Amino acid sequence: MTRPHLFPSRVEIDLDALGNNARCIKRLAGDSVAVMAVVKADAYGHGAPQVARVALANGADMLAVANLAEASQLREAGIRAPVLTLSLVPPEQSQLARALDLRVTVFDRDLAEQYLSALGDNREKLRVHLKVDTGMHRLGLSPDEAVAMARRLRAAPSLQVEGVYTHFAAADEDADYTKKQLATFNHALDEMRAAGCLPRYIHAANSPALLSWPGSYFNLVRPGVLLYGLRPLHDSPNMDGFQPVMRWTTRVAQVKTLPPGSRVGYGHAYTTRREETLAVLPVGYADGLRRTPRTWRCALLHGERAPLVGRVSMEKIIVDVSHIPGVQIGDEAILLGAQGDSEISADEIADWLGSNNYEVLTTIAPRVPRTILSLTR
C-alpha cells in the first residue's frame, strides 16, 4: 500500500466541488426525478466510498457501479443506499448480491434464467433492472425481449424487476440517432405499461443527456462524468456552476542547465537546441502518464507551461523551464488542474492523447495517493 506522506506526487480531491456538482445535477433533474450517481471505476479515480457519501449527502438517491467487487467496497464502507451493478454479475454471485441488497442488471434472457436457477425459491428477492438495447449494441435485451422479460418475471419467485433502462450511444453528438433510441425505448415502455408490468424506476439520461435531453429524464437520471465537474463534450451546454474535482500535483526533483547539443532521456529522444534549463519531475508511466507518442505535452510551474521533452520514463519526466525563472527543487508542478491563472484541463489532456476526459481521470494509477482537500458539506 502506498504511504501518502512518502509519495512524491498526489491527486487532490475537492469534496466541496463534488458536493456542489451533485447539487447542480439535482437542480437540473428537478425535485420529481431521482439521481443515481455513477461511481464505477473507483468513482472515475476519485475514490468511490468518499464520493458516494458526498453525492448522497447532496442530492443523490442511488449509486451505480460496474460489478459486485465495486458494490461490495461500498457496503464494506458502511454505505447502505441502493446500488445498481451495470455490468455482469455472474449467476454464482447472485446470492451474495441479494445478501448485500444490491440491484443487478439483467441484459440477457439466459442470464435471467440462470439467476432464477441459482437463487431458487427463496422468498427474499433479488431486485433487478432490465437493460434495453435501443441502439448502443453493447449489453442489453432487444426491446421485444425486454417486454417479454418484464412479463416473465412478474411472478418469478426470486427476482423482482425494480427498474428498466437504456444507454445512449451518442447523446452528445448525434441528435437524430438519440431521438431514434429514445423513441424505441418509449415504445417498449408503452408495451410494458399496457401489459401491466412497467417497473418503478425508468432511466436513460447519462451526463450528456442530462444536459441536452430533458425528455429522457423519466423518473431517474444516471450522471457520471458531470459529477466530477467535466464536460461530456467541449461545447456541452448548461455547464454553469460545475467545478472540476481533481487536481494532480508533484514536485520538482532536480533542475539542471545543459549546453546546446545535449541528448536527453532514453533513446536520445530530445536534443537541446541551445543552453536550456530542464526540470525533472518524479512521475511517469507507472503513475498514469502515457509513454506512447501521444502523451502529456506540458506541466505547470510557477503558473507557466513547461513543455515535456524526451520520453516518459517509468517514474520520471523532464520539462523545459528555460523561460521560467527561479525554478528549484521542491517547487510544485501541476499535471492536471489549475495553478495561479493557468490551467491544464482534463479536456485539453484528452485532446493531446486522442481520447476523452473519462480516460484521463480513470487511468491515473491507484498508487498515486488521493488527498482530500476539504470536507465541509
Contacts of 117 (CB under 8 A, 6+ apart): 91
Alpha-carbon separation of residue 293 from 269, 278, 310 (angstroms) = 11, 20, 10
Query: Is 177 labeled as catalytic in the residue annotation?
Result: no
Q: How far is CA 119 from the centre of its chain?
A: 32
SS3 162: strand
> How many Cα neighbours within 13 Å face the side chain of 179?
3
Burial (CB count within 10 angstroms: exposed 0-12, middle 13-18, buried 19+), residue 297: middle
Query: Is 266 labeled as catalytic in the residue annotation?
Result: yes
Exactly one of 179, 180, 256, 266 is catalytic; which is it? 266
Contacts of 236 (CB under 8 A, 6+ apart): 172, 208, 211, 212
Q: How far apart are CA 39 and CA 49, in angstroms?
A: 9
Q: How far apart are CA 298 and CA 304, in angstroms?
A: 10
Q: How far apart are CA 160 and CA 62, in angstroms?
A: 17
Q: How far apart are CA 237 and CA 250, in angstroms?
A: 33
The DSSP output letter for 37 is: E
Exactly one of 40, 131, 165, 270 is catalytic; which is it? 40
Q: Shortest CA distance to 103 belongs to which of 75, 143, 145?
A: 75
Q: Shortest CA distance to 85 belongs to which of 72, 95, 57?
A: 72
Q: How far apart are CA 21 and CA 27, in angstroms?
A: 10
Q: Shortest CA distance to 197 belongs to which of 150, 129, 148?
A: 150
Q: Which sequence positions are flagged as catalytic?
A: 40, 266
